[in-house]
Amino acid sequence: MFNLLKYRDMKYEKEFPIFKTKVPGVEKKFNLADVSERKEYFEQKAGEEIAKLKKYFDEGRTFIVYLLGKKNAGKGTYTKLMMEVFGKDKIGHISVGDVVRDVHECMENENEKKELLEYLKNNYRGYISPEDGVNALLSRDQKTLLPNEFIMALVKREIDKMGKRALFLDGFPRNLDQVSYSIFFKELIDYRQDPDIFAAIDIPEAVIDERMKYRVICPICHTPRNLKLFATEKVGYDEEKKEFYLICDNPDCNGARMSAKEGDNMGIESIRERLEMDEKLIKKVFSLHGVPKIFLRNAIPVSVAKDYADDYEITPEYYYEYDDDTKTVKTLKRPFVVKDDEGIEVYSLLAPPVGLALIKQLVKTLGL
């Protein structure tokens, strides 16, 4: 028991300290789903830090952040928030998964294909030819293991296209070998003298599980939502199937019914291997000396939540009631409580408070 407690202490207080997003004097209850209220939220809670970072970007300086977190931890979401706060001209997002997928598209166009192979000829050094690398990638041929050098050349190409922006890299390093590459990546890509930072996201598996099981997507604009954790304004009820469904908020979608992706109902078990690798990666990076690190927590123990976070920063659980007489759906909310990986009852934070922690730690890490 003593050891278990000690481990919990370590995890919470040392590795992933609880970040206080409750700011004295800021009393307004923000609706964090609303873009303009979100802007005001960031200004009120981190105005000083945002100004410092804006000045830093205006001076032409950048950085590279390696985002490390389990699949579905919200890496893309946090980067989008940074783009919203600082502008797309200042922040670039590279998802290595997307880069690899783009190669497929690239190959369907003769000019793009030629351009990609030309780039690889000039920028890639490795034991298999660029052509074999591309073929292995396209056929997802499991026998030819894609060398890290090949993936890195593809990422470098994406970075070259970005121009002078602070970069958030998602999906690199992806395996234990790539950790060693990432230490020197900044030098390899000649990304000026700007700092590189590892940002690790801690998220309970139970939260990932619920995110997957209740995820729905608009068939038209592909906006993701969650029946349980992130409802839309309008919700419908299917009398035949006796189930509630979300209706896309995007006016262009004309009330499209959002639906689940095949396989998502399996939840976390379908990505178990990936999660274990991600966990190993985070541990490995923790053990690195000499690289600045930022720690982001998705969850906060229920027992201390009221001291550290405001109510509106916590993910609610949505549930619904159907009125048979008026044929209307009522959306209701209650606290969403899950057990984290150590068995502690926690709340899951919405993305903006995690973004707030990211902004404040960036300022500190960069010494601004």
Q: What single string gives the DSSP state of each residue in 228-277? A: TTB--SEEEEETTTTEEEEE---GGGSSPBPBPPTTGGGGGGGGHHHHHH
By C-beta, is 26 or 221 nearer to Zn ion?
221
Q: Name beta bridge partners: 295.
A: 200
Tell me whether residue 80 or residue 274 sits nearer to Zn ion (CB atom): 80
Q: Residue 228 Cβ, how far from Zn ion at the closest point, in Å? A: 19
User: From CA 126, how far away is CA 121, in angstroms rounded?
Assistant: 10
SS3 59: coil
As a whole number of angstroms, the distance between CA 245 and CA 226 comes to 10
Q: Which stretch binds Zn ion (CB under 5 A): 86-94, 116-124, 244-252, 338-346?
A: 244-252
CB of 219 to Zn ion, least distance (A): 8
By CB under 5 A, name the one of 5, 23, 138, 220 that touches Zn ion.
220
Binding of residue 216 to Zn ion (CB under 5 A): no
In the list 253, 277, 337, 366, the residue contacting Zn ion (rule: CB under 5 A) is 253
Among 64, 248, 271, 359, binds Zn ion (CB under 5 A): 248
Which CB sits closer to Zn ion, 179 or 218? 218
> Please, what sign has the CA dihedral across residues 122, 124, 129, 132?
negative
One character per residue 345-364, x = contact with Zn ion (rule: CB under 5 A): --------------------
Q: How far is the CB of 258 from Zn ion (least distance, A)?
A: 8
> Any contact of residue 221 with Zn ion (CB under 5 A)?
yes
CB of 231 to Zn ion, least distance (A): 14
Distances 119 to 112, 114, 155, 161 between C-alpha atoms, Å? 10, 9, 12, 12
Distance from chain centroid for Cα 294: 14
Nearer to Zn ion, 190 or 252 (CB): 252
Number of residues that bind Zn ion (CB under 5 A): 6
Amino acid type, 268: I
How far apart, in whole angstroms, are the C-alpha atoms of residue 295 and residue 277?
19
Site string for Zn ion, 273-312 (x = CB under 5 A): ----------------------------------------
Which is it for the CA torsion 226, 343, 283, 265, positive or negative? negative
Specify the stretch interacting with Zn ion by CB under 5 A; choose among 116-124, 210-218, 237-245, 337-345.
210-218
* Backbone φ, ψ for residue 332 (5° rounding): -125, 160
* Closer Cβ to Zn ion, 183 or 253, answer by number: 253
Q: At what angle do helices 176-188 and 272-286 cross, to 10 degrees?
A: 60
For residue 333, which of 346, 314, 351, 352 has the smallest C-alpha distance? 314
User: Should residue 250 be labelled a site residue for Zn ion when binding is judged by CB under 5 A?
Assistant: yes
Binding segment toward Zn ion, per CB under 5 A, in 94-102, 119-127, 164-172, 241-249: 241-249
Q: Which is nearer to Zn ion, 106 or 248 (CB)?
A: 248
Shortest distance in whole angstroms from residue 232 CB to Zn ion: 9
Instruction: Tell me how far, at minimum, the Cβ of 319 lies from Zn ion, in Å.
Output: 23
- The amino acid present at 169, given as its one-letter code, is L
Complex with Zn ion: residue 256 or 344, whichever CB lies closer: 256
Q: Which residues of 172-187 are buried (b: 16+ CB within 10 A; e: fewer)?
A: bbbeeebbebbbebbe
Which listed range, 73-81, 176-184, 232-240, 242-250, lies at the site for Zn ion (CB under 5 A)?
A: 242-250
Nearer to Zn ion, 230 or 308 (CB): 230
Quote the tokens at residue 270: 């379908």
Q: Which of 68, 85, 218, 359 binds Zn ion (CB under 5 A)?
A: 218
Q: Report the interface residues with Zn ion, using CB under 5 A.
A: 218, 220-221, 248, 250, 253
